[in-house]
Amino acid sequence: MQKLIGSILIVAGTTIGAGMLAMPIISANVGFLFMSFILFCIWFAMFYTSVLLVNVYRYNSPEDGLNTLTTKYLGKPGAYITGLSMLTLMYALTSAYIAGGGDILRTNLEQLLHLEVSPQLSAILFTLLFGGIIAFGTRAVDYSTKVVFSIKILCLCLVLGLLLPHIEMAYLAYIPQSPLPVLATIPIIFTSFGFSVVIPSLVKYLDGNLRQLKWVFFIGSIIPLLLYLIWELTILGNIESSVFSEILKNNAGLEGLLVSIKEINSSPFIKIAFTIFAAAAILTSFWGVALALNDYIKDLAKDRPKIKHNVSAFILTFLPPILFALFYPDGFVIALGYASISLVVLALIIPMLMLQKAKKIAGEKTSILQYIIYGFLWILSLLIVVLQLLLAFEVLPS
């Protein structure tokens, strides 16, 4: 039971990260109704494909990693495409979390202990302190996530408790005049449900118990969906869209969100709770992503014992993102700009193709309903890729 709860929290903890912090910012000109619809559609797609990938393990050992499965069912070309998508996405995210986590650590060391620490040293300290947990395996991540996730939820509840009583229904009824802001949010919202990367790690952790795994991904993904909806309801229901947009014009990113929250409620507890929540959100997402990357590298090198060794895998997991974060920050920023395309390949397309091939080899048929859902998933995949490219080339407003 403890493993089950821990696995659910790893899924939820990996999901609820920086994307949740950005959500009210990108939805200022979209409105609650459209955001709710987008959130539900993307949640359904990501949960459904997580079940597809779990079902692939009906025909395989729980010890098999993603590279082993893609090589078996999609051949070397499929494995190369998956590997490129996985490593690009995971290294970019890990770099971003190291940079963000290092900044938070440096700020706290300066404020609490009056220690002057360089950004480079704080990034290395963050990786050793919190990334070191990955070296002890999924169980260590499980226990750590339980503690930090609990703190995260407590702080979120405090923020919500102070803001929920002031909701104005009129603000929630806002409808955008143009579809462009709505379309622009889809790739970003999609990356806010990036829990599928931890599937192979949790399959192994739960010894391939398919029934438990399906419940893990249902509950672990529905928790973020509900929290996202409540979070959007709280922020968008407390401040008029035009006022919110004006604040964001003058205050970029999270600072704009903090200013907006203080506009609603000036309690000093909100800033403290929100800051702790943001730090905890980065930490749990960092653990989930780093765990998935570490396990993928071990599976990639399963025929090379020296690389598969814990120390070697740990170095390969964290050294490249640290170097990128310190010496080439534009590298992971550019990669993150295309994160949704990598995630489309990993979370939507690969599970469909692998399960189809596995069922064909086993002589099993696919139902009409499943083909209809596959059609929806292919349309969604194409839409996200096109929208991400339009955003990258600044055809759509970012």
SS3 for 85-128 is HHHHHHHHHHHHHHHHHHHHHHHHHHHHHCCCCCHHHHHHHHHH
Domain-located, residue 398: no
The rounded distance, in Å, linking the Cα atoms of 19 and 30 is 16
Burial of 303 (0-12, 13-18, 19+ CB in 10 A): exposed
Any domain includes 368 = yes
Tokens standing for residue 263: 């506009």
Greatest pairwise CA separation for the chain in angstroms: 66
Q: What percent of the chain has pLDDT over 90?
A: 45
In total, the chain counts a number of residues equal to 398
Q: Is the C-alpha dihedral spanning 248, 253, 255, 258 positive or negative?
A: positive
For the beta carbon of residue 389, count every other beta carbon within 10 angstroms: 15
At 75, the amino acid letter reads G
Q: In this model, does residue 307 exceed pLDDT 70?
A: no
Does 297 map to a domain?
yes
**Percentage above 70 pLDDT, the chain:** 94
245-304 per-position pLDDT tens digit: 777 777 666 667 777 777 777 777 887 888 888 889 889 989 999 999 998 988 887 776
CB 134 within 8 Å of CB 291: yes
Question: How far apart (Å, rounded) are the C-alpha atoms in residues 393 and 40?
Answer: 27
Residue 113 lies in a domain: yes
Q: How many structural domains is the chain composed of?
A: 1
DSSP H helical segments within the chain, as ranges? 2-15, 18-26, 32-56, 66-113, 119-126, 138-163, 169-172, 180-191, 199-205, 210-236, 241-250, 253-264, 268-300, 305-308, 310-327, 329-337, 339-343, 350-362, 368-392
Residue 379: phi and psi, rounded to 5, are -65, -45
According to the model, what pLDDT value does residue 228 have?
A: 94
Looking up tokens 């703190």 gives 151
Whether 240 shows a pLDDT value over 80: the answer reads yes
pLDDT exceeds 90 at position 356: yes
Does residue 283 fall inside a structural domain? yes
Q: Does residue 376 form part of some domain? A: yes
Residue 188 has a pLDDT of 85
- How confident is residue 314, by pLDDT bands cut at 50, 70 and 90? confident
Query: Is the distance from CB of 142 to CB of 3 less than 8 angstroms?
Result: yes
Higher pLDDT, 221 or 366: 221
5/150 Cα distance (integer angstroms)? 12
Residue 214: both structure tokens together: 């399906």
CATH number, domain at 45? 1.20.1740.10
Backbone dihedral angles phi then psi of residue 201, each to the nearest 5 degrees: -65, -40
Q: What number of CA atoms fall less than 13 Å from residue 315's CA on the CB side?
A: 6
- Residue 356 is encoded by which pair of tokens? 């189809």
**Residue 171's pLDDT band (cuts 50, 70, 90):** confident
Average pLDDT of the chain, as a whole number = 87
Q: Across residues 66-89, what is the average pLDDT?
A: 93
What pLDDT digit, counting tens, does each position of 190-227 carry? Answer: 988 989 989 999 999 999 999 999 999 999 999 999 99
**pLDDT score of 53:** 96
Residue 146 resides in a domain: yes
Q: Which DSSP letter does residue 364 get?
A: P
From the list 66, 58, 4, the residue with the least C-alpha distance to 291 is: 66
What DSSP designation does 367 have? P
Residue 305 lies in a domain: yes
| Owning domain of residue 4 | 1-393
pLDDT exceeds cutoff 70 at 12: yes
Residue 333 has pLDDT above 80, yes or no: no
